[in-house]
Structure 1
């Protein structure tokens, strides 16, 4: 099992709009496709920073769920264009993290 810790940069001054869209559209859509969204945060030190965490059992599950989300017509035609308009995609950072043996996030 592993986690994706995703850090995004919203377009300047648009983080509140981004958070509303994430919570109303992106997260519900992804969870409907089986993705386990563990947490969602705003960055206290960066007025345009946003972080969220997703959990996967293994690489095969991640690949299948990515395909279900990112290859869907709804993502390609509706959700994705809004996401890419609200974010600065080239500043996104994705870290894959595996919990240590004593981590409560097992």
Structure 2
């Protein structure tokens, strides 16, 4: 455990990292076991919040995770304490040995700024599974499914993100579960350059949880088939503004993920 006094992590983080790691073949479960055992409470002891850890269903060698901070200065202090501390010194080399790339990182904040109801995460570390617990399954299939949709717009464009937040998300709420969070690019400079983040981005991330992948598929079908405004007006308007096709992550949470 770190020698510094424990700091309560932010329960409603205003700065969120979405981190996607490419791993060496066959080593994802090794990293997850190490991460869930050594890197959850020890990161939170410095003032950050480990929001979620996930397996990417479309890539067996990809690990995705989320962590949050109160603000950018707290992020700098927390990351400095953790990566300069004894836990990372002891276990960081083994974690790094599983990775090919760890620089695919989006720095995000709730959209709009100020985090209106439903736009940012609201979780508590007390809800996390205990160390060593198994992820719930049904017939060998994970019970929980988390969808992350990443919508890309030209830098400086405010209308594209507004379309997602003001029009698409309300329509999705009418036909299925409300998103856990709607996040947009945090434009502040990286306060901890030792860990790179993607720059020049204008991304909106919509993160939603489902009982299973079939529920997610039904929701998408209902949103287009039973909500013609989405199909005929909202999505075409988004497509006209976007700078690249959206990317959809299909994730299953680990046993100790808060977001599930």
* TM-score bracket, shorter-length normalisation: 0.7 to 0.9
TM-score scaled by structure 2?
0.38
Matched, 1:75 2:84: no
TM norm structure 1: 0.87
Match of 2:46 among 14, 24, 33: 33
| Cross-structure match for 1:47 | 60
Q: Return the alpha-carbon distance in structure 2 between the equivalents of residues 53 and 74 of structure 1.
A: 19
Structure 1 residue 33 displacement after superposition: 2.1
- CA offsets, 1:22-52, max 9 Å, x none? 1011223212222101111110100011111
Indicate the residue corresponding to 1:84 in structure 2.
Answer: 96
Q: Distance in 2 between matches of 1:79 and 1:45?
A: 28
SS at 1:98's partner residue?
Answer: strand
Per-residue CA deviation, residues 64-104 of structure 1 (Å, 9 max, x unaligned), is 0011101113322x12111111111x353110111113543
Counterpart in the other structure of 1:94:
105
Distance in 2 (alpha carbons) for counterparts of 1:21 and 1:74: 12
Unaligned runs of 5+ in 1: none
- Residue segments in structure 2 that go unaligned for 5+ positions in a row: 1-13, 122-260
SS at structure 1 position matched to 2:40: helix
**Matches of 2:72 and 2:103, distance apart in 1:** 21
SS of aligned partner of 1:12: coil
The alignment of Structure 1 onto Structure 2 pairs a total of residues equal to 104
SS at match of 2:47: coil
CA contact (8 A) 1:36 1:55 kept: yes
SS at match of 1:47: coil
Cα deviation code 1:4-34 (max 9, x no counterpart):
0011112110111111111011223212222
CA distance in 2, matches of 1:17, 1:74: 17
Rounded Cα–Cα distance in structure 2 between residues aligned with 1:22 and 1:10: 14
CA RMSD of aligned residues (A): 1.6
Counterpart contact for 1:2–1:56, Cα < 8 Å: yes
Contact 1:9 1:92 in 2 (8 A): no
Q: 1:12 to 1:81 in 2, by over 3 A?
A: same
Larger radius of gyration: 2
